[in-house]
């Protein structure tokens, strides 16, 4: 199955299918459903310096062609993840994982990144910049060119593993943000986090989710995510992990064609816990159907096909 394999900053993945952060727990929870070692890698739940309860309920709402979530980075804190969660995952998953780093200040990002950098199990540090910067009146790190650059730069000074910056689509120019990340030393990018949306209860007239506005994900956002990957990969030559509305093997082939090297499957895991397994099994059949000999051959082909 080497024709399914891809490379992310020196890390070889047997296939480009990665469950996205926040939709697969800490991975081992899914091992009772199927052998998760078939996955290319696993992106852990976003982790902060200390334990977080998250937002009040309700935190999830369904909507047409997608869902809203406002979990609020609920997690046990980086020390508990390393000491308790990763050993459980290590018993059922033998490959390198992607640690999702979150924080509310530059210093917290660096602290968590350093902790994960020391863990052999971790292959890539994915920096989730869609967190509010408490020092800048709650403006998200991903919406400011200065903080995208500086947070990446500071993390790179303190870590040795590949750093992938996870950007937000809720900006005026995603290419500008991606360039700032690369200039800050990013080894790769994850494009992108959720859009923003709301759902109104038609009986009461109140927003359904407690935070009123929440992250919007699912099949409906795929064209936006594809556009972001296409535009960024055209301007920047670093690996991209694509995320946004991926449900099947055709979606994966689209994202690789647009310029991604690997893909993260997000909210569809909550709809169908077998979706990643099904995509991996479906990919060889789709490759045969479309005459694709090796997935690496199609990365970015949308930029040069006639």
Long-range contacts of 222-229 (CB under 8 A, 24+ apart): 222/246, 222/251, 222/254, 224/169, 224/192, 224/195, 225/169, 225/191, 225/192, 225/255, 226/254, 226/255, 226/258, 228/169, 228/174, 228/191, 228/192, 229/191, 229/255, 229/258, 229/259, 229/260
Which of the residues 131, 144, 180, 247 is marked catalytic? 131
Which residues, 6 or more positions from 172, have their beta carbon under 8 angstroms from its beta carbon? none
Burial class (CB in 10 A: 0-12, 13-18, 19+), 64: exposed
Annotated active-site residue 192? The verdict is: no
Q: Which residues are catalytic?
A: 131
């Amino acid at each position: 199955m080497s024709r399914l394999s891809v490379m992310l900053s020196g890390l070889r993945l047997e296939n480009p299918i990665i469950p996205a952060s926040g939709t697969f727990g800490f991975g081992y929870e899914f091992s009772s459903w199927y052998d998760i070692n078939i996955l290319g890698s696993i992106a852990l739940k976003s982790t902060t310096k200390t334990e977080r309860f998250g937002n009040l309920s309700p935190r999830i709402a369904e909507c047409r062609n997608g869902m809203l979530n406002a979990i609020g980075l609920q997690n046990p804190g980086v020390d508990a993840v390393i000491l308790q969660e990763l050993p459980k995952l290590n018993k059922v998953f033998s490959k390198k994982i992607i640690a999702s780093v979150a924080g509310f200040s530059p210093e917290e990002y660096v602290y968590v990144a350093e902790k994960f950098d020391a863990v052999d199990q971790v292959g890539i540090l994915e920096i989730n910049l869609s967190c509010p910067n408490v020092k800048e009146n709650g403006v998200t790190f991903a919406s400011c060119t200065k903080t995208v650059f500086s947070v990446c730069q500071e993390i790179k000074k303190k870590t040795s593993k590949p750093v992938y910056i996870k950007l937000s689509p809720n900006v005026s120019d995603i290419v500008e943000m991606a360039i700032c990340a690369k200039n800050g030393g990013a080894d790769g990018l994850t494009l992108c986090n959720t859009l923003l949306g709301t759902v109104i209860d038609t009986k009461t007239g109140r927003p359904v989710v407690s935070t009123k506005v929440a992250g919007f994900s699912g099949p409906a956002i795929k064209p936006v995510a594809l556009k972001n990957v296409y535009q960024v990969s055209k301007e920047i030559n670093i690996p991209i992990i694509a995320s946004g509305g991926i449900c099947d093997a055709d979606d994966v082939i689209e994202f690789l064609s647009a310029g991604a090297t690997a893909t993260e499957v997000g909210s569809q895991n909550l709809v169908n816990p077998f979706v990643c397994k099904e995509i991996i099994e479906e990919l060889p059949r789709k490759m045969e159907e479309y005459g694709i000999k090796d997935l690496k051959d199609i990365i970015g082909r949308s930029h040069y096909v006639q």
